[in-house]
Structure 1
Amino acid sequence: MIRSILLALDESTASASAQKLAIGMAKKLNAHIAGIGVLDEPWITAPEAVPLGAAAFKVELDTQLLDDAKRRVHSLEAGFKKAAEEAQCNYHIIDAEGFPAEEIEKAIVSHDILILGRDANFHFFPLRGMAVSVEQLLKDSPLPIILTPPEESFGKDIIFAYDGSLAAARAIHMALLLEIHKDKDVHILSINHNGKDAERQAQKIHKLCERHGVAAKVHGIESKEKPWNIMSTLVEELNIGMIVLGAYGHSGIASFFTGSTMKGLIQKAKVPLFLYH
């Protein structure tokens, strides 16, 4: 059961979705929630080549940028405080300075799960692709992460995506232990070039779910299509609100749900992803 949630605060649209999801979970589960705002001072004040005589100008500019970033971080923290109080959640705020991924990693050990937006970058401007901080957290976090897309309207139920890898098995085990599936219908998805192998893989997780008292529906699908195309269709057909899958498994790009394929899914997914390795 989830007792404590860590929420990364950022100005991105996906991070606003993360806050909505995190506060909703905290209220539903009666869990504590901590919002962490990070001022990336090392990035803002990083040394760079400047013309002769312009050093003083850079110091002044850095000071202005720091003051603006502090104001925006504190505004995010105030917004989180207001939302948590309106939801009557037990909460606190972590006001940190340093490299975002490192500061979040320091804080995460006191919590059960981290929730953040998939395009969070903590630098207050949009990026193309996955931010370095998000990718580092996905690789290094000892705890599961829920990564949210920009959309705020999520379905209700959940997919356990299983490709036979250890990473996927660990993610599903953790989701079951944390009861992330509570009050949801569970769908087990396995995709393989061979339909019998897909069904066989899915049945292994079905047996695990039964032992946890979870009634799940099996979807063993024979296909050579890209997994996220199949998932996108199922998300709409089955009222899915979350997908559980393994992150960065040892099987690399040969695996359906890990490595480069997982990165593609992160960018295309229309629902939150529960990721664990």
Structure 2
Amino acid sequence: MSYKTILVHADGSPQAAQRIRLAAQLALAHDAHLVGAAMTGLSRHALPDGSIAPLGAPFPFDQRLLHSRADAALTQFADCASRMGLHSFEARLVDDAVDDGLILQSPYADLLVLGQGDPQGLPDELLNRLPRDVLFQSARALLIVPHNGQFDQVGQQVLVGWDGSVAAIRALSAALPALRRAARVTLVPSPSPDGHGRQADLPGAELARNLARHGIHVTLARLDGGRHAGAALLELASDVNADLLVMGGYGHWRLREWMLGGATRGVLHDMTLPVLMAH
């Protein structure tokens, strides 16, 4: 099992170059096809006044600026993919809102690569809530790259956060191709029960045996019980020199927006390394 199609968000931002480079590294390692997707940002249905256009109706204003911006982002993507030596990649322009465009394409990729929102920005800005919105509606796991920092590689030293929940299982399953190639995998069980009230496998022994059957040998570690779970995971990731954190993402729909679980919210806001996350 390996990744065969990876989709990366190309938006022309200063952070996009590193995001594309990490996605290209994964594509090279797994002999995968890399798709760079740039959305124009204009919903395929919405008019400027917020109303809904009849299907097939033309938009009543010039869209050339939006297309020009997306084209520039795709040129950046193609240049980076070519420099990395990728033989199978495509630049894809999508006339849609950024979140909807990524969500609609997610079933046709094995992994999505997005950037973290700006931790200093307004939480309600579209790009700052993008990882959260896509996470909870995507058909696939996300690899989220921090807004700040330099990351030369991903997946050599991996930390896996585990609490036995469905989200953690999905994240772990999505990470298996990367875990098989890792030089070291550290597993950290959480003392929290999963979403169905079952206590997680605290020692992690059964999961370690399962991963060993996949050819993945793990080192067990413990979280600092006195710290917030998100902060403790990020601190442990630093202690073990991890370049990738794998974990479940938690949240529920309330009052027309996603309310994040504490660890998910903390990691999405304060991440210091790439995070592979699934809901």
2:83 equivalent among 57, 68, 86: 86
1:217 matched residue in structure 2 = 219
User: Is 1:190 the counterpart of 2:189 in the alignment?
Assistant: yes
For residue 45 of structure 1, report the CA deviation from its aligned partner: 5.5
Please name the residue that 1:208 is paired with. Answer: 210
CA distance in 2, matches of 1:102, 1:232: 30
Aligned CA distance change for structure 1 residues 221 and 110 (closer, same or farther; 3 Å): closer
1:1-37 Cα deviation digits (max 9, x unpaired): 1111001112344433321210111122221100001
Gapped runs of 5+ residues in structure 1?
Answer: 49-58, 121-125, 251-257
Kindly state the Cα deviation for residue 108 of structure 1 after the two structures are TM-superposed.
2.2
* Aligned equivalents of 1:217, 1:40: Cα separation in 2: 44
**Aligned: 1:238 with 2:240:** yes
Larger Rg: 1
Gaps of 5+ in 2: 51-59, 193-198, 253-259
Contact 1:154–1:271 under 8 Å retained in 2: no
Matches within 5 A, 1:140-219: 140-150=137-147, 151-154=149-152, 156-176=156-176, 178-192=177-191, 200-219=202-221
TM-score (norm 2): 0.79
Name the structure, 1 or 2, with higher relative contact order (CA <8 Å, separation 6+): 1
TM-superposed CA distance for 1:172, in Å, is: 1.3
Provide the C-alpha distance between the structure 1 equivalents of 2:19 and 2:117, rounded to a whole number of angstroms: 11
Partner-residue secondary structure (3-state), 2:243 = strand
Amino acid paired to 2:159: I
**1:134 CA drift (Å):** 2.7
Verify the 8 A CA contact 2:17 2:76 in the aligned structure 1.
no
Partner AA of 2:101 in structure 1? E
On the 8 A contact 1:23/1:87 being kept in 2, the answer is yes
Cα deviations across residues 127-162 of structure 1 (Å, max 9, x unaligned)? 423634332210011111101102222563001101
Q: CA separation in 2, counterparts of 1:230 and 1:106?
A: 34
Residue identity opposite 1:158 in structure 2: V
Distance, in Å, in 2 between the alignment partners of 1:101 and 1:12 is: 16
Match of 1:74 in 2: 71
Q: CA RMSD in A?
A: 3.0
Bigger helix share: 1
Cα distance between partner residues in 2 of 1:261 and 1:26: 29
Match of 2:255 in 1: none
Are the aligned partners of 2:35 and 2:91 in contact in 1 as well (CA < 8 Å)? yes
1:131 aligns with 2:128: yes
Pair 1:275 & 2:277 matched: yes
TM-score, structure 1 as length reference: 0.79
4+ runs of 1 displaced by more than 4 Å? none
